[in-house]
Homo-oligomer: A and B are copies of this chain.
Amino acid sequence: MNISDVARETGLPPKTIRYYEDIGLIRPLRDTNGYRVFRQSDSHKLAFLGRARALGFSIEDCRKLMALYEDQDRASSDVKKLAQEHLAQIEEKIAQLQSMQATLQHLVRECAGDARPDCPILRDLAEG
């Protein structure tokens, strides 16, 4: 498979696939013309990476997850730990965003949003 084939299979852009090779997440073969040659196992790994990234795991977490995936003797507790830590980060992020959301919703409701210059949003930003 060439890069555009595996891009279609996995939904990842060719650029991203090259980047993943650059940082050592995958190691496709090379044809005599220099083109990358992807085996089914490469495509599989890329799909794995795509799903892990879609769940918000960092590249370094993805690297660890791949290593665990390929380690037949892994303990599921190691995977669970990674997932739980990531979950905690997601929950913190959600909480932060919800706090911003609440403040903004309040300010937006207060603001007349008309042609006059008086604006509670700016007042709040200016005075805290």
Contacts and interface: CB of A to CB of B under 8 A. Distances in A.
Interface of A: 44, 47-48, 51-52, 54-56, 65, 68-69, 71-77, 79-81, 83-84, 86-87, 90-91, 93-94, 97-98, 100-101, 103-105, 107-108, 111-119, 121-122, 124-126, 128
The 7 A-B residue pairs with the shortest CB-CB distance, nearest first, are A80-B113, A76-B119, A77-B113, A80-B111, A75-B115, A87-B104, A56-B100
B97 A56 contact: yes
Interface of A, secondary structure class, is helix
Specify how many copies of this chain sit in the oligomer.
2
A116 B35 CA distance: 40
A116 B75 CA distance: 5
